[in-house]
Structure 1
Amino acid sequence: MNTNRRPRTSQVAVKRLVLLNRYYRITRFYDFIRDTSVKGGIVIAVFVAILVGLEYFVLDFDVLLNQLVETYSPAVVFSTFFASETVLGLLPPEIFIAWASKADTPWLFLAVLASLSYLGGVVAYLAGNRLFLIPSVKDHIEMKIARHIVNLRKWGGLFVFIGAMLPLPHSIVSLACGLIKYSFRSYLLWALFRFVRFVIYAVILFQIF
């Protein structure tokens, strides 16, 4: 009996994978991943090129970052970052990761930044979840982020993963999750990849700065 069940279980798993692959092809998930990755790579390359250019011709970023560390307390910087990660992700996290590299305990500061980014997404989710109380605002935001909502409904947790890992505004993806009442538990699990992104970026930026 057990011997017969195992092949059937394997066949079912393979069929599911085939169907999932077909679904992702039909919904252009792979194209979206490719385009987002390419755009993200270009943005990062341009960002690094600008930094290197400014460093070489205009500014000494080591001095600038050290001045930021000396001028502004960690509480001010962390508060600014948390506000940004909660509201549309207005400021690039890379700037704050570079700032953390100049701290006495850079990896501790990085852990705080990653945690604040994660919590900022949670706040954005909860805000989106309660927007039904203000229908006019809810309708306006739904129109503004309609594309993200469509993608979230198509791909679920994988879209949250993309928002956490790739240069896609994490707070907007989180807001969209709240708006459509995507499973909070699933959101929390997929959003944990935000920590992975911060570690990857830190490994690179800590070497530069």
Structure 2
Amino acid sequence: MKLKVKFKFLFKNILKGLLWMAILAVLYLLAKEYIVSDNQEVWLERFYSRPLLIYGIYIGSEVFFGLFPPEIFMLWAYFKGDTWHYVFNLLFFAGISYGAGYLAFLVGRYLRRVVMFRFLGRKFFSRYWPLFRKYGSFLILTAALTPLPWSLISMLVGTTEFPMKRYLNFALFRILRFGIYGYIIFQSHQFA
């Protein structure tokens, strides 16, 4: 397959990610202006007094196929403390996401040996199998950088004969995503 087609797929999903991020930003600004500004102390207390709950929700979300976009947690982290606290939170979030992808990959490795999964897996991964067949390892890169479901793609890759070391190398782009998106969120608050 031509590299041009693969990059078109990647950029299309990056644009979707940026659109999703813009929608989140607008929703965030509207909530901040019309909901939080009236009862700021109540909202701040509700979300910032229980960081372990927020971290637990994030970990659960990443392990269970990204129920919540990581950008929501990045926004939370921005207001949690100073710049270094924000950076450490981003590193934590990136590490958890990378680890959740690896865990999903290992689960996929296990499931490929389960006979019942061979039949159910076709239905479970029906949307992403054709993409993996078409793009191969480029799908890992795209899922790492864009809103494609990271853990689900990692599990799908685990059900194949894809080499683990190669997967882990491509999965490092997940950390890059957190760096880029975190930087965008940080810079957008510098101008607001």
Q: TM-score, structure 2 length as denominator?
A: 0.83
What's the CA shift string for 1:134-183, capped at 9, x where partnerless?
A: 33344323323233223223322221110000111111110111111311
What displacement does 1:23 show? 2.8
1:183 to 159, 163, 174: 163
2:2 to 11, 23, 26: 23
Amino acid across the alignment from 2:159: L
Higher relative contact order structure (alpha carbons within 8 Å, sequence separation ≥ 6): 2
Q: Is residue 65–residue 99 contact of structure 1 (8 Å, CA) maintained in 2?
A: no
Which has the greater radius of gyration? 1
- Counterparts of 2:160 and 2:58 in 1: how far apart (Å)? 26
What is the aligned partner in structure 2 of residue 203 from structure 1?
A: 183
- Counterparts of 1:34 and 1:108 in 2: how far apart (Å)? 29
Say whether residues 1:161 and 2:141 are aligned partners. yes
What displacement does 1:65 show? 5.0
Amino acid across the alignment from 1:146: S
What is the aligned partner in structure 2 of residue 68 from structure 1?
A: 47
What is the aligned partner in structure 2 of residue 53 from structure 1?
A: 30
Say whether residues 1:172 and 2:152 are aligned partners. yes
Runs of 5+ consecutive residues of structure 1 not aligned to the other structure: 1-21
1:122 match: secondary structure: helix
Amino acid across the alignment from 1:168: L
Amino acid across the alignment from 1:40: G
- Counterparts of 2:174 and 2:45 in 1: how far apart (Å)? 26
- Counterparts of 1:24 and 1:147 in 2: how far apart (Å)? 22
Q: TM-score, structure 1 length as denominator?
A: 0.77
What is the aligned partner in structure 2 of residue 17 from structure 1?
A: none
Higher mean C-alpha deviation, range 34-43 or range 48-57? 34-43
What is the aligned partner in structure 2 of residue 5 from structure 1?
A: none
What displacement does 1:66 show? 5.6
What is the aligned partner in structure 2 of residue 90 from structure 1?
A: 67
- Counterparts of 1:90 and 1:181 in 2: how far apart (Å)? 27
Q: Is residue 112–residue 160 contact of structure 2 (8 Å, CA) maintained in 1?
A: no
- Counterparts of 1:169 and 1:66 in 2: how far apart (Å)? 31
- Counterparts of 1:69 and 1:42 in 2: how far apart (Å)? 27
Q: Is residue 21–residue 71 contact of structure 2 (8 Å, CA) maintained in 1?
A: no
- Counterparts of 1:205 and 1:47 in 2: how far apart (Å)? 11
Identity over aligned pairs, percent:
27
Say whether residues 1:32 and 2:9 are aligned partners. yes
2:131 match: secondary structure: helix
1:112 to 78, 88, 92: 92
1:107 match: secondary structure: helix
Q: Is residue 149–residue 180 contact of structure 1 (8 Å, CA) maintained in 2?
A: no
What displacement does 1:47 show? 1.6
1:79 to 56, 65, 88: 56
What's the CA shift string for 1:112-132, capped at 9, x where partnerless?
A: 111000000001101111113
